[in-house]
Amino acid sequence: MAAPKKRGMQTIVFDNPPCLTSWASIVGPKEGEGPWGNSFDVRLNDNLLGEKTWEKAESKLLQDTVSLALSKRGFEIDDVEVFLAGDLLNQLASANFAARTLNIPFLGLYGACSTMAESLIVGAMILDGGFCERVIAATSSHHYSAERQYRFPVEQGVQRSLTAQWTVTGSGAVVLEKGVLGPKIKSATIGKIVDRGQDDANNMGAAMAPVASDTIKMHHLDLNLQPDYYDLVITGDLGSVGAALVRQLFNRDGLVPKPNYSDCGILIFDEKQDVHAGGSGCGCSAVMLCGPLLAKMQRGELNKLLFVATGALMSPTTTFQGETIPCIAHAVAIENQ
Amino acid sequence: MAAPKKRGMQTIVFDNPPCLTSWASIVGPKEGEGPWGNSFDVRLNDNLLGEKTWEKAESKLLQDTVSLALSKRGFEIDDVEVFLAGDLLNQLASANFAARTLNIPFLGLYGACSTMAESLIVGAMILDGGFCERVIAATSSHHYSAERQYRFPVEQGVQRSLTAQWTVTGSGAVVLEKGVLGPKIKSATIGKIVDRGQDDANNMGAAMAPVASDTIKMHHLDLNLQPDYYDLVITGDLGSVGAALVRQLFNRDGLVPKPNYSDCGILIFDEKQDVHAGGSGCGCSAVMLCGPLLAKMQRGELNKLLFVATGALMSPTTTFQGETIPCIAHAVAIENQ
């Protein structure tokens, strides 16, 4: 049993750190053409996966990614005990319909683009708490289903602002187990909401930068870690605008030095791919984690990773009603042994 | 630490059952006029709480209910370590904006109308797992924000079908703690999704009855309990249509006898209140739990309660795309000592 965290702390330390024993990533065509294309398990040729709508395609994408992560470990779906997932669609449509097919106990989670970290945290608590021996944590996003839900009909061809990010079509899934080999979740920081008054839904990087910095700062403070403790601190989807801002905050606070920091939203696309400020969406950090990052950990090129998925928690309704954007960031510390 | 549940089981047994040490319920005017009106902490006079929109009102309702549950225990918000909440609005708008004000670590959950049970289950695992000492679990729904999001503009005055239910305006919140007095969460059953092909979003009771029966059956099987073990098995919001169906399933399977079963959606309104098949929404089961049910437990009139919140996981988009309704039910066993 873990020692309860002290009042006022946000970070949980796992006594028997759960292991990431298998993972999978599937990405859309545009993501497959990006600089890390070869690092994903599957690169799709089209955005529909044989389905009639983008929403159904996204749910199938999530389901296929879960199945792939399980099969890489030689598991059937019944070999895991709980499915932890969420996505960006209203009422978590992708996760719910994937859960219907997978047919195991299901907990739906929502943290916008922070959902991959949230599902890993809840999964790790379920394992270290002794309630289960194996769970699967997953999330997905789809450029076209997100675009039409959050912004404009895709066919309208609205010009995107330069601060806007491109929602990643992709899904990542991780099998978590206790007591076996693989990178381990040593600790996790549960985010608080930070809202600095940003109200432009086309500039989510600027909205999320303060919360990313806040969670990273609390993580280092709670555990009394040096700023360069992690080989890499990676945020989910701040993009170029948000990452530049978060670096300013790091400098101000004496946090993570420049070579130890990056952002999945910057890495996933090449500048030539015309995505403006970078990638975003639950799938962005999920596929970067379940693609290149965990592969690097497995090869020993990366040994201490702080995965900080960031979420902008606005909805079109709250934006129409003049609200600013509440943001959250959860951090998961993944280490080799 | 709990013994891990056996593979194939859905039920978790808590070794050190977390206690419900404080709770609160706030309801709208219509709910306040219902048969249990006097059992809620606050009955609102209007549906707006001084806000300009129903969505902002719902978020304030959730926030006020959390504050009330804390103050009844003499706590400030900083005395609890994690806020677990969700609601029916797209992107969990009510929970996110309440979490912004509450300003403690936050995990967003979505299980449609099953969210109160989901938040209690995740909260109980966090406590029994040893990660925290105090958490708060809460949810809300609002008739008018739900109506316009899921169905029609309220002003349009569309005639409601007789199988339709009335989304409850209300919020419930529970403070969970370890090692102190109060009703305890002894065990919990995490639901699987069941979808029997029902596609009428105006008859959610019929859609949810099979999953309610399934979760209740698994709970009794996993723990080897007699059908009359619980003083009361209560479902969240099956309403009159769904409750009649679930009774048929109980009879078929030799489950819960008639006097030991009821449904929050039937109880909350009087037949004269013209709500057709009964109440629904996250708030329905939440306020019945945090109002009359826990009060009865405190007075010793009820000692063993199985709280089974039920959720219909469709979205308007999936319904438009011809999908049927995937449903979930999570069960929480609450017992006096």
What is the sign, positive or negative, of the torsion defined by CA atoms of B143, A85, B104, B288? positive
Size of interface A-B (CB pairs under 8 A): 191
Query: What distance lies between CA A7 and its chain's CA centroid?
Result: 27
Q: Residue B17 carries which DSSP code?
A: P
Determine the pLDDT at residue B7: 62
Residue of B nearest to A318 (CA): B93
DSSP assignments along A109-137, one per residue: B-BTBTHHHHHHHHHHHHHHTTS-SEEEE
Per CATH, A17-177 and A184-335 having the same topology is answered yes
Determine the pLDDT at residue B1: 43
Determine the pLDDT at residue B5: 60
Mean pLDDT over B261-280 rounds to 97
B190 has which bridge partners?
none
pLDDT reading at B293 higher than 60: yes
Select the residue of B106, B109, B321 nearest A53 (Cβ to Cβ): B321
Percent of chain A with pLDDT over 90: 96
- Residue B141, classified by CB atoms within 10 Å of its CB into exposed (0-12), middle (13-18) or buried (19+), is buried
3-class secondary-structure state, position A262: strand
Percent of chain B with pLDDT over 70: 98
Determine the pLDDT at residue A4: 53
Residues of A in contact with B318 (CB under 8 A): 55, 91, 93, 97
DSSP assignments along A160-225, one per residue: PPTT--EE--EEEEEEEESSSSS-EEEEEEPPPPB--S---TT-HHHHHHHHHHHHHHHHHHHHT-
Residue of A nearest to B100 (CA): A193
Residue of A nearest to B51 (CA): A321
Please state, in angstroms and rounded to a whole number, the distance separating the CA atoms of residues B176 and B120: 8
Please state, in angstroms and rounded to a whole number, the distance separating the CA atoms of residues B11 and B218: 8
Please state, in angstroms and rounded to a whole number, the distance separating the CA atoms of residues B264 and B244: 13
pLDDT digits (tens, 9 = 90+) for B110-144: 999 999 999 999 999 999 999 999 999 999 999 99
pLDDT reading at B102 higher than 80: yes
Residues of A in contact with B90 (CB under 8 A): 90-91, 315-317
Do residues A139 and A286 touch, judged by C-beta distance below 8 A?
Answer: yes
pLDDT digits (tens, 9 = 90+) for B274-290: 999 999 999 999 999 99
Mean pLDDT over A57-83 rounds to 97
Q: State the smallest CA–CA distance between residue B301 and chain A in angstroms.
A: 31
- Candidates 3.40.1190.20, 3.20.20.70, 3.40.47.40, 3.20.20.10; correct CATH number of B17-177? 3.40.47.40
Cα angle value B59/B26/B264 (rounded, 5°): 105
pLDDT digits (tens, 9 = 90+) for A287-297: 999 999 999 99
Q: How far apart are the first and last CA of chain B?
A: 19
Choose from A14, A185, A318 for mutation: most chain B CBs within 10 A.
A318
Determine the pLDDT at residue B180: 80
Residues of B in contact with A318 (CB under 8 A): 55, 91, 93, 97
Q: If you count DSSP H runs as helices and E runs as strands, how many of each does chain B have, helices first?
A: 11, 14
Determine the pLDDT at residue A8: 72
Indicate yes or no: CB of B8 within 8 angstroms of CB of A130: no
Domain ranges for chain A, please list them: 17-177, 184-335
Percent of chain B with pLDDT over 90: 96
With a threshold of 0.90, tell me whether the complex ipTM lies above it. yes
Phi, psi of B102 (to 5 degrees): -70, -35
Phi, psi of A325 (to 5 degrees): -105, 110
Topology of the domain comprising A184-335: Peroxisomal Thiolase; Chain A, domain 1 (3.40.47)
- Categorize the per-residue pLDDT at B181 as very low, low, confident or very high, splitting at 50, 70 and 90: confident
pLDDT digits (tens, 9 = 90+) for A64-76: 999 999 999 999 9
Q: What share of chain A is helix, strand, coil (3-state, %, to 5)?
A: 40, 25, 35
Q: State the smallest CA–CA distance between residue B8 and chain A in angstroms.
A: 7
Query: Pick the residue with more confidence: B118 or B9?
Result: B118
Do residues A210 and A47 touch, judged by C-beta distance below 8 A?
Answer: no
Determine the pLDDT at residue A1: 43
The closest alpha carbon to A20, from A175, A232, A179, A187, belongs to A175
pLDDT reading at B334 higher than 50: yes
Q: State the smallest CA–CA distance between residue A260 and chain B in angstroms.
A: 26
Residues of B in contact with A190 (CB under 8 A): 82, 105-107
- Categorize the per-residue pLDDT at A5 as very low, low, confident or very high, splitting at 50, 70 and 90: low
Mean pLDDT over A166-171 rounds to 98
Query: What distance lies between CA A42 and its chain's CA centroid?
Result: 18
Select the residue of A97, A122, A191 nearest B106 (Cβ to Cβ): A191
Select the residue of B110, B122, B192 nearest A86 (Cβ to Cβ): B110
Any residues with CB less than 8 A from the CB of A6 and at least 6 apart, and which? none
DSSP assignments along B145-167, one per residue: HHHHHHS--GGG-PPPPTT--EE
Residues of B in contact with A123 (CB under 8 A): none
Structure-token pair, residue A284: 């962005």
pLDDT reading at A2 higher than 70: no
pLDDT digits (tens, 9 = 90+) for B43-66: 999 999 999 999 999 999 999 999
Do residues A304 and A38 touch, judged by C-beta distance below 8 A?
Answer: no
Average pLDDT, chain A: 96
Determine the pLDDT at residue A220: 97
